Amino acid sequence: MDTLSLEGIRKIYPNGTVALKGVDLVVRPGTVHGLLGANGAGKSTLIKILSGAITASGGTMRLGERQLAWKRPADAMKAGVATIYQHIPVVSTLSVIDNVFLSKTAGWRRSDEDAAKLRRVMEKIGYYLDPDATVGDLSIGQRQMVSIITALIEGAQIMVMDEPTASLGVEERDVVYKVVRQLTSIEGKAVIFVSHFLDEILALTDDVTVIRDGVVVLTARTSEVDSDAIANAIVGRAIEAIAREHAEKSADTGGIALSVKDLASGSRLAPANFNVATGEVLGLAGFLGSGRSEILHAVFGADPKAVGAVTLNDKPVGRSPRAAMRAGMALVPEDRSSQGLFMQSSVCMNISFPYLSSLSKWTVLPEVARERNVAEEMIRRLKIKTSSSESLVSELSGGNAQKVAIAKWLASRPAMLLLDEPTAGIDIGAKADILALIREFAANGGSVLLVSSEFEELLAVCDRILVLRKGHIVAERIASQTSEHELVLLASGA
């Protein structure tokens, strides 16, 4: 097994964006190497160079003594470097064994030899899957295993795993950790492990490298650093700062703004009753499938099956998104690219869209100048990094796109914000900005209903937290009188 070493890797995109300004990286065999960085730091570019999806503009890559140069992903595969992407490219209509041997060019579609080979690999990593199961029926975690097994069958020495745990549940994460340890300590492979979660980086990796603005800002043995050092290397800012500020100006909330009575939706949401006060941030804590998103959609009238009564400032709210908007509510949905934004439209058009009529002459003729003013004001206020308000949203990084998804609602100064995982999959810098924004919104008399699977975040910004499990509200806690530990126990029903 050889050491992978990168020296002075640079990447300048044809449009002039400098993504990497000379990155050095040494990955020892038999180790897990953690790779971290905020969105837009150059992490994904580095992964793409390693996988052969794009070529570097300069620098050298070596595996042992061998100089590496590849033009396409197949070259990287042949050299023994496999990349396991976050969005796993598998053919969901084919079986596990068909997927694993997809790149096979000779021989029959299925042979006993292949089946035996697959069995051996599964034994090696200690993870078993039915070879005939259709991949489309598998969970995300199982699909990830399919791509890991594929990489092993093709003889990978080094595996690059791009946020493998981001979309997994707790149990599936443990499986990934186990397999990664097995691969490195017993099989002697090297794993480059990309993640946003500091705890798993600390627990799993041997070495750690942090990239910021296209250069390496920290590289060390994991045992010699702590989470503070890593977090500081990533941004320098931390969520705690907001939490501290929040605690100092302890919330004095006003009267009831939102009142929800017997709101239910089929089997996914049992009748829920709760209030949100003016200037209050109410958190909804719960795991995937606990009914947390369903509550938001039901309150906003976006769930046609929902029944129950919702009033905002003592006025009943009609059961449709349009009625909710008119009453002063805004919903920022969980998945910004499929639910929140028009990715192929400009930042400006996205921001002006919900309240386009109010920016139009006689409500039907949009006035471009007014739209642009509003968009530019929001870009300034939310510190959205974009070259202009005319840029397409698809050109922005995840954190900035999320800010656009929030900005389009803030422009009209709603009374009530419903936020569904507003910080999922974005870097700590943008996360801190968004959390600060939530506090500021509440301080100015707005009310917020916030869903997040990161309980630490809820504790930092919320005044009160409702815990959900299997569609029921099972507990209510004052944020300052509870802990992450207690919330996890309540939400998991332990």
Partner 1 sequence: MHMTRLKEEIGLIAPSTTVGSGVLIDEKKENLAVSKSRDPYVLGILREFGVYVALALVLFIVTAIAMYLGKSQPLTAANLSNIVYQASLTGIMAIAMTVVLITGNFDLSVGSVAALVGVVFLMTVGTLGFGIAAILALSVAAFVGLVNGAINQFLGINAFIVTLGMLTGARGIILVLTDGRSLNSTDESAVAAMQLFETTRQPMNVVLYCVGGLFAICGLVGLYRGSTSRVRGVFALIGATIVGGMGILSGPRDTVANPAIYFLVFTVVIWLLLTFTTFGRRLYAVGGNAEAARLAGVNVVGYKIFGFLLSSLAAGFAGLLYVSRLGSTYPGAMQGAELAVIASAILGGTSLFGGSGSVLKSAAGALLLVTLTNGFNLLNLGANYQGIIEGVVIIVAAAIYTVGAGRRR
Query: Which residues of this chain interact with partner 1, rule CB under 8 A?
Result: 12-13, 15-18, 40, 213, 300, 302, 320-322, 324-325, 331, 333, 338-345, 349, 353-354, 356-357, 360, 363-366, 368, 385-388, 390-392, 395-397, 400, 408
CB of 313 to partner 1, least distance (A): 19
Q: How many CB atoms lie within 10 A of CB 479?
A: 21
Q: How open is the CA angle 201-206-208, to the nearest 5 degrees? A: 60
Cross-strand partners of 285: 467
CB of 363 to partner 1, least distance (A): 7
Residue (109 or 322) nearer to partner 1, CB: 322
CB of 368 to partner 1, least distance (A): 7
CB of 326 to partner 1, least distance (A): 8
Residue (390 or 476) nearer to partner 1, CB: 390
Residue (235 or 251) nearer to partner 1, CB: 235
Residue (84 or 411) nearer to partner 1, CB: 411
Contact predicate 219/77, CB 8 Å? no
Structure tokens of 80? Answer: 């023994």
CB of 342 to partner 1, least distance (A): 5
The size of the chain, in residues, is 494
CB of 17 to partner 1, least distance (A): 5
Contact predicate 287/491, CB 8 Å? yes
Residue (1 or 12) nearer to partner 1, CB: 12
Residue (41 or 465) nearer to partner 1, CB: 41
Contact predicate 144/176, CB 8 Å? yes
Residue (196 or 372) nearer to partner 1, CB: 372
CB of 16 to partner 1, least distance (A): 3
End-to-end Cα distance, the chain: 44
Residue (24 or 213) nearer to partner 1, CB: 213
CB of 360 to partner 1, least distance (A): 5
List Cβ neighbours of 493 (8 Å cut-off, separation of 6 or more). 469, 474
Residue (157 or 397) nearer to partner 1, CB: 397
Residue (137 or 390) nearer to partner 1, CB: 390
Alpha-carbon span 100 to 151, nearest angstrom: 8
CB of 38 to partner 1, least distance (A): 11
